[in-house]
Amino acid sequence: MRNGRSTGVGLTFLITAACLVIAQPVHAESDQLVELERAYWDAKLFYDPLYATNLGLAVHTDRLKDFSHDAEREMNGKLGHLSGELRRLSPRTLNESGRHRKKLLLSAIQSDVLAIACDPRFAPLDPIYGAHLALPLSVANQPLEAVEDFEAYIKRLKAFPVQVDQMITNMRSGLSSGWSTPRVLVRKIPAQIDAHVVFESCSSDSVFYVGPAKRAENVLPANDCAKWISRLKETIDADVVPAYLRLRAFIEQEYLPKCREEIGLSASPFGERLYAARVRLHTTTGLTPDEIHKIGLKEVERIKGELAAIQKEIGFDGELTAFLEHMRTSKKYRAKSPEHMLSLCRQALERVKLQMSAYFGDLPETRIQVREMETYRAPDSPIGFYEIAPEYGGRPAYFILNTFGASQQPVYMLEALTYHEAIPGHHLQMALVQENDQLPDYQRYRRVSAFEEGWALYAEKLAEQMGGYEDSVQRFGRLNTEMWRACRLVVDTGIHAKNWSRPQAIDYLRNHVAFAEHEIAREVDRYIAWPGQALSYKIGELKLLELRDKAIAALGESFDLRAFHDEVLSDGAIPLDMLEDKIDLWIGRQKTKKP
């Protein structure tokens, strides 16, 4: 994979190997399970140090991810070794819980093998979570509690130029074999880089300086603090800023002119095969892109019927497209300011808190707080994110709200967004498993998009049952966000498997979803940047609804919604096929309980 001739072959091998790992049957397990779980977690944190930092784990805090071919090959070797050791363990040495944990670990290893195959090193940049953003976004989570922490931070900054050089090398290799990021995405990146080209490093514009300097003043003795701050300024000016300038020059002068105009992954070498693998990774199903496209079209038509009923309640006469345009453009539905948006989300959060114990037996202790997104990434980022609380404590979890263009943002989507990102959505699910010390560490932080995003979309609908969406406008907002996720099935597969153009994708969303124009364009660019990820929401939600209906049909009046929710969430994020097996077993246990 180091040159143009071998890149396609290497990619084909990785995807094929990933599928073979998934296809092999599970034969074994034993006393070594705990050691294998720890070894897997250690390897994962070493491979991606910023992942550890963003979890609040004080390990490898002086390092950045190695983007070299050797590092990728080494990680694949570790995963292969762990998989082999896991399969050699005898199932007779394990109880039911141990056998279940083995399946969880094997599925995590399989997912990582597939993820590496689906994430080519030679296209590392996108304007949402690209490698150029990873370091500045991690600074707020950098542990700075002791002298060695401050030393580690400077070492990490000094590693950035090496990482930039690796990215440039990889992108050149990609260009030589026909691989590049779409031009529509790359042209946004120079402006993002400029936000960090701050020569006066004591300026409030430098995220690398302000927070860490303040922490140093609170932790270090005055003389030591002054010396460290001087070294920090020197490192930013001598290492970080020149590396960013070098990356920007490469992008503008060499990369951007050669980037592909086509937005779909199918336009890249082996793109159809890679997209199919990404669909498998993000949905944890065997569904094909064409099957998902058809599911999306069916869901769009179903939701249209529900929107028609809401349209009558609101009192608008006309076609659906005209109704959506009215909801999109009417000033009475727009936010007044960023503070107005934040206030509405905080109010929704407080309302739903009062109902949680009626629908869930297990509730997290970790607090959740609504926070405004950083200005330097807001223009090119989605409307909201969830950020878990760090392992070491010290701050709550965050629902990060993008208030960019607040005067154009419709307020009717904020309540559903709050339920999705906070409770009963991401925060409930992720904080519960993070607090569960009975699970191995890797499982407490495992990410399975189909489960997590499926749960969060399910939570939006559940919130209506919990008393949310008190008027027709808010209920429209909930349906509007569900339509958005159904459209994702159509648009994502349309872009990457059916050669849709960017205007075609934008038009489809505009005709079905009442979002602001800039939000629609931003969403389409997200699907271009992350092929397959947008499929996970609706596919996951449909599976959860299917399993709940299955449990209700099997258990009748003895069905307990609180117990069902607790069972779904008890292991954290798992693939959908494992979730189905788990709920089938739970249904069987409920049937055997005495009345």
Phi, psi of 205 (to 5 degrees): -80, -10
Among residues 359, 317, 292, which one has the least CA distance to residue 497?
Answer: 292
| Burial track 388-405 (b if 16+ CB lie within 10 A, e otherwise) | bbbbeeebbbbbbbbbbb
Distances 573 to 101, 415, 432, 433, 568 between C-alpha atoms, Å: 13, 24, 11, 9, 9
Q: For tokens 């599928």, name the residue.
A: 19
Q: Give the rounded distance of the alpha carbon of 456 from its chain centre.
A: 12
Domain residue spans of the chain: 1-121, 123-261, 279-540
User: H helices of 177-270, where?
Assistant: 183-186, 189-194, 210-219, 222-235, 241-250
Please give the Cα distance from 167 to 162 (Å, whole number). 9
Angle, vertex CA 418, rays to CA 414 and CA 422, nearest 5: 165
Query: According to the model, what pLDDT value does residue 56 have?
Result: 84
pLDDT by residue for the chain (595 residues), tens only, comes to: 333 333 444 444 445 445 544 444 333 345 789 999 999 999 999 999 999 998 888 999 999 999 999 999 999 999 999 999 999 888 778 888 888 899 999 999 999 999 999 977 788 899 988 999 999 999 989 999 999 999 999 999 999 999 999 999 999 999 999 999 999 999 999 999 999 998 776 677 799 999 999 999 999 999 999 999 999 999 999 999 999 999 999 999 999 999 999 999 999 989 999 999 999 999 999 999 999 999 999 999 999 999 999 999 999 999 999 999 999 999 999 999 999 999 999 999 999 999 999 999 999 999 999 999 988 778 877 788 899 998 766 789 999 999 998 888 889 999 999 999 999 999 999 999 999 999 999 999 999 999 999 999 999 999 999 999 989 999 999 999 999 999 999 999 999 999 999 999 999 999 999 988 888 998 999 999 999 999 999 999 999 999 999 999 999 999 999 999 999 999 999 999 999 999 999 999 999 985 6
Please give the Cα distance from 29 to 551 (Å, whole number). 30
Query: According to the model, what pLDDT value does residue 40 have?
Result: 98
Q: For tokens 């489809």, name the residue.
A: 508
Long-range contacts of 198-203 (CB under 8 A, 24+ apart): 198/236, 198/241, 199/237, 199/241, 201/232, 201/233, 201/236, 201/237, 201/241, 202/233
Please give the Cα distance from 534 to 384 (Å, whole number). 14
The tens digit of pLDDT for each residue in 373-419 reads 988 778 877 788 899 998 766 789 999 999 998 888 889 999 999 99
**What would the DSSP string read from start to end of 342-380?**
HHHHHHHHHHHHTTGGGT-S----S-EEEEEPPTTTGGG
Query: According to the model, what pLDDT value does residue 502 have?
Result: 97
Residue 488: how many CB atoms within 10 A of its CB?
Answer: 25
Residue 247: both structure tokens together: 């990356």
Task: Report how far apart the first and last C-alpha atoms of the chain are (Å, whole number).
Answer: 62
Residue 360: both structure tokens together: 């869930």
Residue 474: both structure tokens together: 């808010």
Residue 532: both structure tokens together: 């397959």
The one-letter amino acid at 347: Q
- 3-class SS at 584? helix
Query: According to the model, what pLDDT value does residue 13 have?
Result: 45
Query: According to the model, what pLDDT value does residue 390 have?
Result: 82
Please give the Cα distance from 396 to 389 (Å, whole number). 5
The tens digit of pLDDT for each residue in 120-156 reads 778 889 998 899 999 999 998 999 999 999 999 999 9
Residue 309: how many CB atoms within 10 A of its CB?
Answer: 11
